[in-house]
Amino acid sequence: MKHQKSKILYREAERVLVGGVNSPVRAFKAVGGTPLFIKSAKGSKIQDEDGNVYIDYVCSWGALILGSAHSKVVHALRHRLHQGTSYGAPTGLEVELAEMVIDAMPSIEKVRFVSSGTEATMSALRLARAYTKRQRILKFEGCYHGHVDYLLVKGGSGMVTLGVPDSAGLSDVIAADTLVARYNDLESVKAVFEKYGEEIAAVIVEPIAANMGLIPPMPEFLRGLRELTKEADAVLVFDEVITGFRASYGGCQELYGIVPDLTCLGKIIGGGLPVGAYGGHEDIMNLLAPLGPVYQAGTLSGNPLAMAAGIETLKVLRTKGFYRKLERSSAKLENGLKKAARHAGCAVSLNRAGSMLGLFFTEKEVTDYSSAKSSNTSAHRIFFQSMLDQGIYLPPSAFETMFVSAAHTVSDISTTVEAAESAFQAAQRSVPA
């Protein structure tokens, strides 16, 4: 495939955008080559500025569970555009989507919409601190919760991809209030609580980690967090920005039967438009202004276009058999990739949780940040480029998650698996004897 227009656009972008991109992983630094500049997308396919068409497993980093430009979402947006794009005032759409979210999520009694997942996590933890009158936050190595200063400590995702240990510009004072434990290691959490329990306002966790590759929780890990936070009167925050309405309609809390105190949402609830939300028990949420002393505001919060797209998306997700069909497609991809790797003699570890997959070039079982980092990133780089050359668009990082959408067909999965066998062979040849 030729990428001449993307190369020209990237050179132009580097003159006016920092690094030529508006989000670091998009720069392809970890996989080499020129980032693709996308012109259009429909269903399971995206098309770049050179006219190349790819099967898309980025899906706007998980937001497009229906695929791109779903007819019902597009229709709703066209209808709303003629009525204005933003009012800075309440709308009935906000109420409708809030009711749908509350109905779906066992933990949420009230919700506040914002414009990004970062806003959601930042605001939820401010609430937790106000509610508990404590300062410290406990997070996990490799879990990413947005670019809030104190949450970038051991922040996973793009920072692991780019080899950045944390982030420059973090205040030592702020970072000192962030405690870190190991994901899937309940004993490490207990040790932190034994030392700092009375100072911990909240524990924030990706219930299925999806920012160091895809890593499901071990049995009893989430339940153990729920018990420890209750014992210490700390707030348990589930960051379901990725997993909300993807792991199941009710997210991980429905899937695993764990009820957190606060939940952060994003991606899917905006139907592909910028959105975020946080919600939880009424006694915590009522601390927010205008009812309480915790201030948070946003010009585009509850934006009518994002609300309309989210409502239509959730309506489709509620149709009978939606998640069963998505599970079948995802399982077919998982089994196909495993078989292709075996045929190629390539050692990989593949994790899957519903329609999310993490592929690691390692013989080890990947259960946490440390084992994720054992992945051979050079082999992944070759695999990525081979797949791209064959028309398969994967996340450009060994530490990001692949997403399957409802638009992916049996033919898409078969084509992907066929391409993967030769890509695994290429990656295997790169591994030193």
The position carrying tokens 């066992």 is 106
State both tokens at 68: 């791109």
Predicted pLDDT of residue 433: 55
Cα gap 108→115, rounded to integer Å: 19
Contact 269, 100 (CB under 8 A): no
Cα gap 334→356, rounded to integer Å: 10
Contact 205, 180 (CB under 8 A): no
Region 391-400: mean pLDDT is: 96
Predicted pLDDT of residue 164: 41
Q: Is the pTM of this model over 0.85?
A: yes
Contact 63, 56 (CB under 8 A): no
Q: Residue 173, SS3?
A: helix
What are the angstrom distances between the C-alpha of 418 and each of 23, 247, 357, 411, 425? 31, 27, 17, 10, 12
DSSP state of 33: S
> pLDDT category, 160, cuts 50, 70, 90?
very low
For the question of residue 239 being annotated catalytic, the response is yes
> What's the mean per-residue pLDDT of the chain?
94
* Least confident span in 113-117, 131-135, 169-173, 278-282: 169-173
For the question of residue 320 being annotated catalytic, the response is no
Predicted pLDDT of residue 300: 96
Name the nearest CA neighbour of 234 among 192, 274, 182, 293. Answer: 192
* Least confident span in 67-81, 114-128, 160-174: 160-174
| pLDDT at residue 120 tops 50 | yes
- Could you tell me which residues are beta bridge partners of residue 359? 350
Q: What is the pLDDT of residues 201-260, one digit of tens each?
A: 999 999 999 999 999 999 999 999 999 999 999 999 999 999 999 999 999 999 999 999
The single-letter code of the amino acid at 370 is S
Phi, psi dihedral angles at 186 (to 5 degrees): -65, -30
Predicted pLDDT of residue 163: 39
Among candidate residues 183, 267, 369, 373, the one labeled active-site is 267
| pLDDT at residue 432 tops 90 | no
**Pairing verdict, β 200-205 and 235-239:** parallel
CA atoms within 13 A on the CB side of 328: 8
* Least confident span in 21-25, 261-265, 307-311, 323-327: 21-25
Domains parsed from the chain with CATH numbers: 4-69+321-430 (3.90.1150.10), 71-317 (3.40.640.10)
Region 54-81: mean pLDDT is: 98
What are the angstrom distances between the C-alpha of 283 and each of 113, 202, 219, 225, 230? 18, 16, 30, 21, 16
Q: What is the pLDDT of residues 205-216, one digit of tens each?
A: 999 999 999 999
Among candidate residues 54, 57, 144, 393, the one labeled active-site is 144
Predicted pLDDT of residue 285: 98
Question: Where does residue 170 fall: left (phi above 0), alpha (psi -120 to 50 degrees), or beta otherwise?
Answer: beta
Q: What is the pLDDT of residues 320-347, one digit of tens each?
A: 999 999 999 999 999 999 999 999 999 9
Region 40-47: mean pLDDT is: 98
| pLDDT at residue 159 tops 50 | no
Region 116-135: mean pLDDT is: 97
| pLDDT at residue 15 tops 50 | yes
For the question of residue 144 being annotated catalytic, the response is yes
Predicted pLDDT of residue 175: 74
Name the nearest CA neighbour of 259 among 288, 287, 234, 238. Answer: 238
Among candidate residues 239, 261, 368, 412, the one labeled active-site is 239
